[in-house]
Structure 1
């Protein structure tokens, strides 16, 4: 996955059609299917991965903490990688890596799966091509980040909303908080030093651009739910604007 212009979108609706449209829109470099907070389950995730087949987009899946079997299963289904939520300790990072990688790096087992049979040489190449990013989303996680990165994770994805919630300032400008800025800069610095990928999400385009300028590789700024709602609002606003400017057509005398 190139990090030159890695703008991504989270998909929480559980709609394979929405994922297909976004994947083929050409507007995003990666998509993350959300199995932690999203409305869909594994079947919808599988259908979404199938819907995105044939595109160059990187398909990631966010999985809940403490469900290593699900992490292995979505990789078997064809995901390019996983974001493992709420990782606060080296032990949790270890569990995530064990589920994501085949031996000797992990303990993921080989099965009769979609990824294996549709991608020649998949098992042999999986260790070097699979993304296993841990989501650090709390002060405890940042206190342990050095130990977390001692495991063979491929990157850190900062859960900015949960971090702000833990600090009691959800909705505030994260870049205005010195402690949060310190953690974000630490993440970028550690990832750069270890050759890992850094990622973060913000729906605010200005904040997202600032985070990119800070050095984050993957910027999540789209969310299928919000894109649908904002598109509906924009359409209504444009309609109302046009309606006030239009003069009713006059009837031609007969």
Structure 2
């Protein structure tokens, strides 16, 4: 079991992924086969059921990508369930304090780093060494996306067992009451990147298009998504209709 996306980032190379939220296994497998470093199954805002997650993670592996999932909320059983089903990375939303970060680590890591329970029904295809490799190979990113998270970012990113962050730029702008991509917004994102670098953690961010992705890659982001299944569908349809004069 090798998490190639995580190893890329640890080597200083950006891992570029895409989000899937439509709840379509066929669309997910298709996305995974295109060449993304990882596919993020969005259980916070996406249309995924418990049983569909298992199929989605397997389809992503079949497509040649790494399965990562954003959990609905920072809760022990919710996180453990996604890992048991085969996620090789977890994104935890709304991490606002050092204690929130420690809660996430406790759920993701086996002892001695955490207290994850061993009940792996969906991960047998990773092989018999899963237990030995899981703490090292599973990627854990916390979302810094509120004013409180920004204020506590140094303590959050210093928590052992956290691999990096994945900034939620829209929620961050809302929480700070600033315009998206304003100077104040960009400064806040760079503040989070600086905290990641200070703690030797991986800086990441949710991007919505190639222009935004290039911008933050140039500023040091290593863990980025560059769009989602629904946005690619909309953009592709709009481009085709425009070209056809409709």
Fold match, TM over 0.5?
yes
- Structure 2 alignment gaps of length 5 or more: none
Shift of 1:73: 0.9
Verify: 1:177 aligned to 2:161, yes or no: no
1:8/1:29 contact within 8 Å kept:
yes
- Structure 1 alignment gaps of length 5 or more: 242-254
Write out aligned runs for 1:1-254 (5 A): 1=5, 2-3=8-9, 4-26=13-35, 28-116=36-124, 118-151=126-159, 152-169=161-178, 172-174=179-181, 176-178=182-184, 180-240=185-245
1:65/1:87 contact within 8 Å kept:
no
1:116/1:123 contact within 8 Å kept:
no
What is the root-mean-square deviation in Å for CA atoms of aligned residues? 1.7
Q: Per the alignment, do residues 119 and 16 of structure 1 end up closer, same or farther by CA in structure 2, a change over 3 Å counting?
A: same
The Cα offsets for residues 38-67 of structure 1, whole Å up to 9 and x where unpaired, read as 011221211111112234422110012232
Q: Per the alignment, do residues 66 and 201 of structure 1 end up closer, same or farther by CA in structure 2, a change over 3 Å counting?
A: closer
**Distance across 1 between alignment mates of 2:120 and 2:230:** 34
Question: Which gives a bigger RCO, structure 1 or 2 (Cα 8 Å, sep 6+)?
Answer: 2
2:173/2:180 contact within 8 Å kept:
no
TM-score (norm: length of structure 2)? 0.89
Count of residue pairs brought into register by the alignment: 236
Shift of 1:227: 0.7
Larger Rg: 1
Q: Per the alignment, do residues 112 and 126 of structure 1 end up closer, same or farther by CA in structure 2, a change over 3 Å counting?
A: closer
Superposed structure 1 runs of 4+ greater than 3 Å apart: none
